[in-house]
Structure 1
Amino acid sequence: MIKAGILGATGAVGQRFVQLLADHPWFEITALAASERSAGKKYGEVAKWRLDTDLPENVRDITVVSTKPKEVDADIVFSALPAEDAITIEKDFAKAGFVVSSNASSHRMEKDIPLLIPEVNPEHLALIDVQKKKRKWDGCIVTNPNCSTIMMVLTLKPLMKFGIENIHVATMQAVSGAGYEGVSSMAIMDNVIPYIGGEEHKMETETQKLLGTFDGKIVKDAPFWVSAACHRVPVMDGHTMSVWMRSKKNPTPEQVKNAFLKFDPKLGDLPTSPKKAIIVREEPDRPQPRMDRNQGRGMSVSVGRIRAGADNAVQYVCMGHNTVRGAAGASILNAEVLKKKGYL
């Protein structure tokens, strides 16, 4: 078993890491790290458990430590830290020889740090060698994208063969993406909030890096642009988005559907990988968060309403579980690929 620590273990994404790693066949939780006010106390005492499963018994009595490398007994750390904390703490861990699989946004766009979706760009893991040589680290940092970006880009990967020219996307994002206390009930009930700070920029820039090409030294951005509009809606879990894709080859909706159906990233030997990365829904009113977010144990992305749009665009709807596929599950899948490729 590989010893695993969780940074930011008491927060919403940290709890999801605990839930998903508690019975993992490759990783054993050996350290839970959080703020100084939680350090020294039992995890069961300080974690206000918010998930719909019981707190795993095997972590309840683990003593929480601070987010300092010398206090964490692990080979890999999964980071659920706030971005403002992750920017220094994650580098401290990498310098100290830890592999850091991060959900934080702090280092995603740094040129020598992989921004990874295993089904999309596993070749970008070679940036780890560039990173270690440049920074003289014994460890490394690997990041997963923004939660909405993951859902969209996973569906764009099989469409790259059509020569994507531009993407428009409008998101409808669940409140859990903002954390348990991120959006007040008075603000979101009977309402839609047409602004999520920084979200649109992340979708527009991260997509280009993810679908870009690695030349042995750097990743060159994909040669198309993305325009995003992001909205918070009164849904608990599951981000939904409408995508307009325009490409050089002008595929029909049927060709796009077939590309989704045939997509096989060949990651079936990884414990967190779903049987189907993309699930196509034929019903006219699907996918829906409440009905589809847990497909593939929360790791599948569902698509539907594939249809012709204006100016030779193809439109479709995609959705996925934002704290599983879009956060903790994504980091865990990244770590499994690291192990498979010999980086862990």
Structure 2
Amino acid sequence: MRGAVVLGASGLVGQRLQQRLANHPMFDVRALGGSSRTAGMRPQDLQWGLEGEAPRLDLPAVLDVQDPNLVEKLHDLGITWAFSAVPSSVAMALETRLVDGGIRVCSNASAHRRRADVPLIVADVSPQHVQTRSPNEVFHACATNCTLIPLLMPYLALHRAFGVASYHATSEQARSGAGYALLRGEVPLTPDIPGEAEKTMAELAWISGSLHNGRVEPDSIEGSMRCQRVDVPEGHVVEAVFELSQPVALTDVNRALDAFVTHPDAAGLPSAPHAPMMRIDGSVDRGLHLWADGLAFPTDVDPAHDLQAGMAVVVGEVRLEGPSRVRLRALSHNTIRGAAGGVVLLAELASTLWS
């Protein structure tokens, strides 16, 4: 078992990470790190905001992520892996300090995304991008923006089969994507999400890019996107229109979506879904499909044990609007697949590939 710390003791993604790692077969949570507001508190005294009870972890008091002796304290606890869910403003310096101190970091923060020497990885789609990190360096990698996932999966399936000439996408993002404050109604919901579309489009080009001499060359993709917040608790939906590079039949489109499978390097990992994407004939429904696991649509889920639940994207309402134009809607569990689950899957992959 690999000793781990979760950075983000009281935040939504940090608590998702605690939940997913509580019974994990590869990682052993030995500490939580938090801000000055939570540092020194007993983990059991932190407000728990997710479904079910907080994991029963026998841990020391919450560590202060700004403590100059943090690295030494982590080493004393036998910790070699950090799961980062701190704000990007904190992650920029903190994650670098941990890596310099010999702690491997898998991050949900955006601070180091799309840096040449920090892999940006969707573990069951682009595990080869791990090669952008020298094997002589301490591992440091990032998972993607949560909004990317329901766009990425159908895009890649169609692009690999037919080529995608251009796309237009509109997101419908749940309150939980902005953290506990919006989820609990402590701040008002505003539809606009500044910078989200640009970030998502840039990450799509990066994940779709090619690896050359240890560097990612992002794809040049013609596209546009609009991102908006909607008043639902969980689940991001993306409606996308893809202009393909050739005329297609709907049966061929469906076949390409159905054929999209997990990369062999990630197959069999504890958090890898049976398939990364599931196609349905009807409409995507958060109430029915949020916890898709690549094989079925469970609704009575224990996220602390059912690591595959919520890890598959669900695609529905697939139709042709012209000889080469495909419209569809895709749903992803934003705090599982798009956040904590994606980070844990990344760590699972890295721990098998990285000594």
The two structures have a TM-score, normalised by structure 1, of: 0.91
Change (3 A) 1:292 1:185: farther
**Could you tell me which residue of structure 2 aligns to residue 94 of structure 1?**
99
Q: Is 1:307 paired with 2:319?
A: yes
Indicate if the aligned counterparts of 1:305 and 1:317 stay in contact, CA closer than 8 A. yes
CA spacing shift, 1:287–1:144, aligned 2, 3 Å: same
Equivalences, count: 329
| Aligned: 1:110 with 2:109 | no
After alignment, is 194-203 or 96-105 more displaced?
194-203
What amino acid is aligned across from residue 101 of structure 2 in structure 1?
A
Provide runs of 4+ in structure 1 moved above 3 Å. 182-188
Per the alignment, residue 72 of structure 2 pairs with 70
Deviation at 1:48, TM superposition (A): 1.2
Query: Distance in 2 between the 1:70 and 1:50 partners?
Result: 30
CA contact under 8 A between 2:124 and 2:272: conserved in structure 1? no
More helix by share: 1
1:193-239 deviations in Å (ceiling 9; x for gaps): 44112211111100000000010232111131231100100110000
Alignment of 1:128-207 (within 5 A): 128-129=133-134, 138-161=137-160, 162-182=162-182, 184=185, 187-188=188-189, 193-207=190-204
In 2, are the aligned partners of 1:208 and 1:223 still within 8 Å (CA)?
Answer: yes
Q: Which amino acid in the other structure matches residue 3 of structure 1?
A: G
How far apart are the structure 2 equivalents of 1:317 and 1:163? 19
Structure 2 stretches of 5 or more lacking a match? 294-308
1:225 matches 2:213: no
Q: Is the CA contact (8 Å cut-off) linking 1:165 and 1:223 kept in structure 2?
A: no
Letter in 1 for 2:289: D
Name the CA shift for 1:247/1:253 in 2 (closer, same or farther; >3 Å).
Answer: same
- SS of aligned partner of 1:181: helix
1:292 pairs with 2:289: yes
2:270 is equivalent to residue 258 of structure 1: no
Q: Could you report, residue by residue, the CA deviation over 1:131-185 in whole angstroms, capped at 9, with x for unpaired residues?
A: x76xxxx423200110010221122222222122212110000000001113746
Quote the offset at 1:186 in angstroms: 7.5
Change (3 A) 1:7 1:186: closer
Gaps of 5+ in 1: none
Counterpart Cα distance in 2 of 1:226 and 1:91 = 33
RMSD over aligned CA atoms reads 1.7
Shift of the 36–187 alpha-carbon distance from structure 1 to 2, 3 Å rule, reads: closer
Q: Hey, what's the Cα distance between the residues in 2 that align with 1:121 and 1:88? A: 26
Q: Please name the residue that 2:25 is paired with.
A: 25
Contact between 1:126 and 1:216, CA under 8 Å: does it hold in 2? no
In the alignment, which of 326, 332, 336 is matched to residue 320 of structure 1? Answer: 332
* Corresponding residue for residue 214 of structure 1: 211
1:278 corresponds to which residue? 277
Paired with 2:202 and 2:323, the residues of 1 have a C-alpha distance of 24
In structure 1, the partner of 2:43 is: 43
Please state how far the C-alpha of 1:9 moved relative to its aligned partner: 2.1
Do the aligned partners of 2:21 and 2:29 also contact (CA within 8 Å) in 1?
yes
**1:258-305 per-position Cα deviation (integer Å, ceiling 9, x unaligned):** 11211222433100011121111112xx21112211111110100001
CA 44–185 in structure 1, closer or farther in 2 if over 3 Å, else same:
closer
CA distance in 2, matches of 1:169, 1:65: 41
What percent of counterpart residues are identical? Answer: 30
**Equivalent residue, structure 2, for 1:10:** 10
Instruction: Please state how far the C-alpha of 1:311 moved relative to its aligned partner.
Output: 7.2
